[in-house]
Amino acid sequence: MSPAKDSAVVLPQTRKQRKRFKRKVKIRVKRKTQKVEKLKDRENVTPLVKKYWLQRYDLFSKYDVGIRMDEEGWFSVTPEEIAALQASRCSGAGVIIDAFAGVGGNAIQFAQVCHHVIAIDIDPKKIELAFHNAKIYGVEDYIDFIVGDFFQLAPSLKGDAVFLSPPWGGPSYKAKENYTLDLLKPKDGHSLFQVAQEITPNIIMYLPRNIDMLQASELSWLSSPPLDMEIEENFVRGRSKGITLYFGNIVLQSL
Ligand SMILES: C[S@@+](CC[C@H](N)C(=O)[O-])C[C@H]1O[C@@H](n2cnc3c(N)ncnc32)[C@H](O)[C@@H]1O
């Protein structure tokens, strides 16, 4: 048997064959690139979020079933593994308030382990996407989707725990050496924490990995007596993605 017959790809021998082979490879690469580009267009993958699209299965394991995002959703959704870990701390709890629900990354995971979730977002498009994405995971019936401003709604809310993942100010947050609580949007971290505390001391806060740790740990002192607090660094594939602070009864025990 000749070596050419043995190998999977028969390499072209003559100049003409080589030229035809190269052309074929070029066409195949071009088609593949066009297919990927089309897919990205359909999924709101702007140049700013291309990097996040490459991590799409870390964000939602059921991505291919039909998950939908908008540009902000791409860079602000909590990766599924982290959202599941955060939710596991409230397993079996009654009502969880997801104050900044976005496209539903956290609300979906809470709905899988808690009785009910109140998912709030000020942007109607986000709530539409969160509802759609919750359906992909089959948990839409366990979530109340509310379009509104958390700060305005807070006095009328009741829940067993509040989850806070406010906007970090876009991907540029990484450039800060020391991310201070006043950089959180739309209000600083202290004000946000105080508003949440009026609802319950059981609070989970998801913050950038470069957060000022001293400031973050001082949050527990906003309450008298100070709240129990636990700090967890969150990784995906060995890369640090954020810091989760747990307060109140969520520390060291389930709700
Ligand atoms: C970091 S994202 C949340 C991502 C979410 N945890 C997820 O996994 O999909 C922050 C969200 O807060 C929303 N937001 C900003 N200000 C708000 C406010 N005052 N009340 C409620 N939602 C607000 C934004 O529209 C954005 O979707």
Nearest-CA residue for ligand 1 atom 12 is 100
Domains of the chain plus CATH, in order, are 80-250 (3.40.50.150)
Q: Residue 146: is it exposed, middle or buried by C-beta count within 10 angstroms (0-12/13-18/19+)?
A: middle
SS3 179: strand
When pLDDT is averaged across residues 175-184 and rounded to a whole number, the result is 94
Our answer on whether the CB atom of 86 is closer than 6 Å to any ligand 1 atom is no
42-74 pLDDT, tens digit per residue, is 666 788 788 899 999 999 999 999 999 999 999
- CA–CA separation, 59 and 121 (whole Å): 19
Cα of 168 vs centre of ligand 1, distance in Å, is: 10
DSSP code, position 225: S
CB 103 within 8 A of CB 73: yes
Q: What is the pLDDT of residue 150?
A: 98
Please tell me which residue, 224 or 145, carries the higher pLDDT value: 145
Q: What is the pLDDT of residue 11?
A: 77
Rounded to the nearest 10 degrees, the angle between the axes of helix 105-113 and helix 124-136 is 50
When pLDDT is averaged across residues 214-231 and rounded to a whole number, the result is 92
66-125 pLDDT, tens digit per residue, is 999 999 999 999 999 999 999 999 998 999 999 999 999 999 999 999 999 999 999 999
Q: Which of 100, 164, 243 to mutate to test the pocket of ligand 1 (most atoms within 8 A of CB)?
A: 100
Ligand 1 atom at minimal distance to the Cα of residue 76: 1
Q: What is the pLDDT of residue 180?
A: 96
Token code pair at residue 231: 């700090």
- Give the DSSP H/E element, type plus range, for residue 240: strand 239-247
Residue 142 Cα distances to 64, 103, 110, 118, 119, angstroms? 23, 16, 9, 9, 10
When pLDDT is averaged across residues 189-203 and rounded to a whole number, the result is 96
